[in-house]
Amino acid sequence: GKLCDLTGWWENDLGSKMHVLKVDSEGNFSGEYHTAVSSTDKPIQPSPLVGSQHLDKDGQCTFGFTVNWKKFSDSTAVFVGQCFSGDNGNEVLQTSWLLREKVDSLPSDWKATRTGHNTFIRTG
């Protein structure tokens, strides 16, 4: 099937959008993450992301990427997942994530990391 290529625009189940600019010959990529969820009421600026994907021939590559939410809250998210070609040929990114928020002291470290999962589909 088509080579798995993450380049382009993706939207997750929270309504956040991810733009992968370019995937190089090693599978490394960068882009911007436009979150739909933010506690602040300030206009949401995109956050930088960097990642790496496998370049499998079967179009079902695994990948990982990091989002640096520096504009917002000194937190960092890492996503890991796999691209699947749905039965009607559409691509779905199944991801798990860890969100690390900055805490003020070591005793608070225990509560600083959250985990979850997100599905991304291509947006037009």
Ligand X SMILES: O=C1C=CC(=NNc2ccccc2C(=O)O)C=C1
Residues that bind ligand X (CB under 6 A): 12, 14, 16, 35, 37-38, 69, 72-73, 75, 77, 97, 99, 118
Q: How many degrees, rounded to 5, is the angle at CA 99 between CA 27 and CA 72?
A: 95
Residue 25, amino acid? S
- Shortest reach from residue 69's CB to ligand X, in Å: 4
Rg for the chain (alpha carbons), in Å?
15
- Shortest reach from residue 93's CB to ligand X, in Å: 12
User: How far apart are alpha carbons 58 and 2 in whole angstroms?
Assistant: 7
- Nearer residue to ligand X within complex by CB, 54 or 102: 102
Give residue number: closest CB to ligand X.
72
Asked if residues 102 and 112 have their Cβ atoms less than 8 Å apart, the reply is yes
- Shortest reach from residue 75's CB to ligand X, in Å: 5
